Amino acid sequence: MYLNGQYVPYEEAKIPVEDRAFLFADGIYEVVRVYGGRPFDLEPHLRRLARSARELRLPEPDLEGLTRVTHELIRRNGVDEGTVYYQISRGVHAPRAHAFPGQPVEPTVLVLTHPLTPEAVAAGERRRQEGVTAITVPEQRWARCDIKSVSLLPNVLAKQQAAEQGAYEALFVRDGFVIEGSSSNVFAVIDGAIVTYPACNYILNGIARQRVIRDARSLGYTVLEQGIPLAALDRCQELFVTSTTSEVTPVVAVDGRPIGDGKVGPVVRALQQAYRAAARG
């Protein structure tokens, strides 16, 4: 893996216990998918990393350097199908104090790769073919969900609740609207239009979300960036979630009630095909 300017064996990488990501979750991250040895949509992911850094007043990351590191790590680790994980924290500072260190400290910058096993790739394919189920949970996060911060406790608890109920994803509901998943964006097909919550401070503006909106518009669909009323789930024709790792995954039931006819619909199929063509190109 890459840690603070050096390539080090994964087992030997060390981060001091007083790193602010460990003590305060004071850090940001990104996840990029690797298809056939190539990082997909690397540039928008790194641009979002830089935005997250600015919003949290972290030093501006070196995006050219991180691009080189990405390709080098993929090469060194021989990643064909997998992910690249980036994390930047405000660095190490003792004694523990909430406010930023008085003197500038070097951020902790790490990049690592995870290969995806053929079984994991096949499981994703199966979810995309057959659809998944979801539950709804009340929104309990802060009002800056647009920042991709490692502070993910409400997301962790929501995903765990979904897992314990046998569901794939938990969908956050804020003020009566389904806004996004615990690790995905959510889209509904209502009266033929594709509806998804607008990019604002309440959701992460997913890189997959942005791609799917572009694809949908170029396929001729109407995309409305507005809230999906929870009450509209009973009358929507299709529902799906998007993310870098799950791509376009249909949701066929929410809280035990079927979406549409409970089968994977044609809009999802068209968008999956477009996404796949770009990713696998």
Query: Which residues have a catalytic role annotated?
Result: 148
Residue closer to ligand PLP by CB (options 133, 155) is: 155
Sign of CA dihedral 68, 210, 203, 120: negative
Shortest distance in whole angstroms from residue 31 CB to ligand PLP: 6
Shortest distance in whole angstroms from residue 148 CB to ligand PLP: 7
Residue closer to ligand PLP by CB (options 108, 242) is: 242
Task: Count other Cβ atoms within 10 Å, centred on residue 147.
Answer: 17
Give the CA angle between residues 102, 107, 111 to the nearest 5°.
170
158 binds ligand PLP (CB under 6 A): no
Binding part of the chain for ligand PLP, among 74-82, 94-102, 183-191, 223-231 by CB under 6 A, reads 183-191
185 binds ligand PLP (CB under 6 A): yes
Helix intervals (H) in 78-224: 118-130, 153-164, 207-218
d(CA 227, CA 177): 6
Residue closer to ligand PLP by CB (options 87, 242) is: 242
Per-residue x/- track, 230-259, ligand PLP (CB under 6 A)? ------------xxx---------------
Residue closer to ligand PLP by CB (options 89, 91) is: 89
87 binds ligand PLP (CB under 6 A): no
Per-residue x/- track, 203-222, ligand PLP (CB under 6 A)? -x-xxxx-------------
**Mode of pairing for the β-strands spanning 27-35 and 82-89:** antiparallel
184, 41, 152, 28: CA torsion to nearest 10: -160
Residue closer to ligand PLP by CB (options 207, 233) is: 207
- Chain positions 126 to 155 lying near ligand PLP, rule: CB under 6 A, are 155
d(CA 217, CA 236): 19
Residue 6, token pair as written in the block: 């050096």
d(CA 12, CA 107): 19
Residue 1, token pair as written in the block: 């893996």
# of chain residues touching ligand PLP (CB under 6 A): 13
Shortest distance in whole angstroms from residue 152 CB to ligand PLP: 7
- Name the residue number minimizing CB distance to ligand PLP: 206
Residue from 183, 196, 249, 272 touching ligand PLP (CB under 6 A): that is 183
Can you list the positions of beta strands (E) in the chain?
Answer: 2-3, 6-7, 27-35, 38-39, 82-89, 108-115, 132-138, 169-174, 177-181, 185-190, 193-196, 223-225, 228-229, 238-243, 247-254, 257-258
Give the residues lining the site for ligand PLP (CB under 6 A).
155, 180, 183-185, 204, 206-209, 242-244
